[in-house]
Each structure stands twice: as C-alpha cells, then as structure tokens.
C-alpha cells in the first residue's frame, strides 16, 4: 500500500501525521496540499488500471492524467482532451467585490467558460464541447443564475463549440 496522506503505517510518525490531518480543514491545507495528498492515490490507481489493461492486451487510454490542466485520453487513432475547472464562490469570484462591483451570472458564466477554454488551448487542443462547473453557496439567488446558460452559449459560439449540460 502507498504512503497515502503522508502516512505510512510502518513509520513512527504515522499517528502524529494522521491526527494532524484529521484536525485540518480544506481551507487550512489549501488546494496545493490537498492535491499533493490525493495524487499518490490517483497515480497508484492509474498504474493498476494500466496493468489490468496490459494483461488483457489493451492499450492504456489515459495519456496525461491528474496534475495537469486537462486529462488526455487516447483511442481510435486520436486524442481527446477533457477538463472541468470548477470556479468556487469566494475564491474565484465574489458576489460583491471590496471596491463595489458585483459579479453576476454574466460575469461568472463568461469567466467559467473562458477559463475552461483556456485550459484546453494550453494543451494545444481544439475545443469541440465544454463542461462548466461552479461551486455556489446555497443562498445564491436564481435571478443571478438565469444568465449563466445564455452567457456560456454565447461564449461557446465565439469559439464555435457546443456546450455540454
């Protein structure tokens, strides 16, 4: 078994690390640390999948996995680039900024769409469809969200691609 969460049961530091992590929140750890904790598990899983595929005479499908802006899947003599870059309220956008301007559905939709398109472009790929993912507080008024699909569709039309819902 891997050294998940920095906790190898064979080390004396295991219990101290486990206790420290159990008391930590996502906000305290931060995105980079959380990803560091998850990557060994994802890498081990992907190695296992490759071994099983190879044992059955199949080529591995995952060319670029976790840790990059996008995943790259191979098959049928072509590559497919997939990304879902989630925008999070309070981190990537605010309802009201300290200087006063509001982030409404239009601005959030445009940013979410553009950010995901940028990830695809960074991989040198041509976008053909789009996933948009948002993390919003439960009290978000629906009136602000009504413009999201239209904005995403407009931004997708600028890039000549379909929006996947």
Helices 148-159, 105-122: axis angle to 10 degrees equals 30
Largest CA distance in the chain: 59
Looking up tokens 């199949």 gives 58
| pLDDT at position 162 | 53
Q: Are residues 32 and 71 in the same domain?
A: no
28 or 9, which is more confident: 28
Structure confidence by residue, pLDDT tens digits, 28-66? 877 778 778 877 787 787 777 777 777 877 776 766 665
Do 37 and 23 belong to one domain?
yes
Q: Which domain holds residue 28?
A: 1-60
Identify the domain boundary among 42, 60, 78.
60
The structure tokens 């996995």 sit at: 65
Band the pLDDT of 18: cuts 50, 70, 90: low
Same-domain pairing of 146 and 66? yes
CA distance 137 to 103: 14
Q: Find the DSSP H helices in 24-90.
A: 26-55
Pick 10 or 143 by higher pLDDT: 143
Residues 149 and 97 in one domain: yes
Number of folded domains that form the chain: 2
Q: Is the pLDDT of residue 142 over 70?
A: yes
Tokens found for residue 6: 């920095």
Q: Is 123 helix (H, G, I), strand (E, B) or coil?
A: coil
* 69 and 95 inside one domain: yes
Q: What is the DSSP letter of 93?
A: B
Are both 93 and 21 inside the same structural domain? no
Question: Would the pLDDT of 165 be above 60?
Answer: no
Q: Kind of pairing, strands 71-75 and 62-64?
A: antiparallel
Residues 38 and 79 in one domain: no
Nearest C-alpha neighbor of 41 from the set 84, 73, 6: 6
Place of tokens 């490759």: 50
DSSP 7: -
| pLDDT of amino acid 65 | 60
- Residues 129 and 76 both lie in one domain: yes
Distance of CA 42 to the CA centre of its chain: 14
Q: Give dist(CA 110, CA 99) in Å, integer.
A: 20
Residues 31 and 78 in one domain: no
Enumerate residues 6+ apart whose C-beta is below 8 A from 133. 84, 85, 86, 87, 112
- Tens of pLDDT, residue by residue over 80-139, are 888 887 777 777 777 776 676 677 777 878 888 888 888 888 888 888 777 767 777 777
CA atoms of 146 and 61, how far apart (whole Å)? 38
Higher pLDDT, 9 or 40: 40
Q: What is the pTM of this model?
A: 0.58
pLDDT tens-digit readout, 89-98: 777 777 776 6
């Amino acid at each position: 078994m891997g050294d998940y969460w920095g906790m190898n049961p064979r080390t004396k530091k295991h219990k101290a690390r486990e206790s420290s992590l159990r008391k930590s929140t996502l906000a305290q750890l931060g995105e980079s640390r959380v990803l560091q904790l998850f990557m060994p598990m994802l890498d081990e899983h992907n190695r296992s999948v490759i071994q099983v595929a190879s044992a059955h005479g199949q080529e591995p499908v995952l060319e670029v996995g976790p840790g990059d802006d996008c995943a790259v899947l191979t098959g049928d003599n072509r590559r497919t680039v997939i990304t879902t870059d989630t925008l999070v309220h309070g981190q990537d956008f605010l309802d009201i900024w300290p200087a006063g301007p509001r982030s409404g559905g239009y601005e959030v939709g445009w940013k979410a769409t553009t950010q995901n398109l940028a990830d695809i472009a960074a991989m040198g790929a041509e976008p053909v469809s789009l996933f948009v993912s948002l993390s919003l507080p439960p009290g978000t008024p629906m009136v602000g969200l009504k413009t999201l699909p239209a904005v995403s569709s407009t931004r997708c039309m600028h890039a000549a691609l379909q929006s996947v819902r």
